[in-house]
Each structure stands twice: as structure tokens, then as C-alpha cells.
Structure 1
């Protein structure tokens, strides 16, 4: 399975609770942090929910 790198580029402060939980479920805690996850439809859906706060690296 392919891997995908996700970077948090915007703060969680002031966001709705659902978006905060999605970012934390992706394993992102600090701005600028990059995590590597398997490229599955579930992860892609989570990225789509918070696409204004994260970016896919590479």
C-alpha cells in the first residue's frame, strides 16, 4: 500500500470540534508537523474534511 505524507499548515484554534478531532485522529498536533499514513479511502476522506488546514506533501 502506498504511503501519503500529511502536513498541518493551519491552527486548530477556533475550528469546530469535529475538525479538531479529525486533525488529531490523523496524528497531527503542531503546525508544521508531518505524519506518514497509508493511502486509504478513509484517510483521504479525513484529509478532505480538513483540506483547508492540511496539505499533502510530495
Structure 2
């Protein structure tokens, strides 16, 4: 079985003052506080979540 591709995301801006659904998306990506990082399986749904909050996160 081939190894699954992963993507690493980091929260680089605060969620203070952002829309509630964007805050929920950040939590759904497994990010809690500033500079926290999460390694996720690269799927279209994860890519969509990253795209939605692209102004808050950085893909490493």
C-alpha cells in the first residue's frame, strides 16, 4: 500500500475578530493557538478548509 500524502499547516494569524465559521474551520484543522502546527492527510476536503482560511494559516 502506498504512503498517503500529507500537508502541514501552521496558524500564523489570530482568530480574534474573525467569523465563527472560520474559527470552526481552524479548529477542524486541529489548530488551537498561534504558531500551532498540524499534519493532515492531503484530501480535497482538507484543501478546501485550508483555502477557506488561507489568510490565517501557512502551508509548510
TM-score by length of 1: 0.96
Paired position in structure 1 for 2:51: 48
Structure 2: give runs of 5+ residues left out of the alignment: none
Instruction: Extract structure 1 runs of 4+ deviating beyond 6 A.
Output: none
Q: Deviations over 1:5-32 (max 9, x none)?
A: 0000000100000100000000100110
TM-score by length of 2: 0.93
- Larger Rg, first or second structure (1 or 2): 2
RMSD value, Cα: 0.4
Q: Alignment length, in residue pairs? A: 57
Structure 1: give runs of 5+ residues left out of the alignment: none
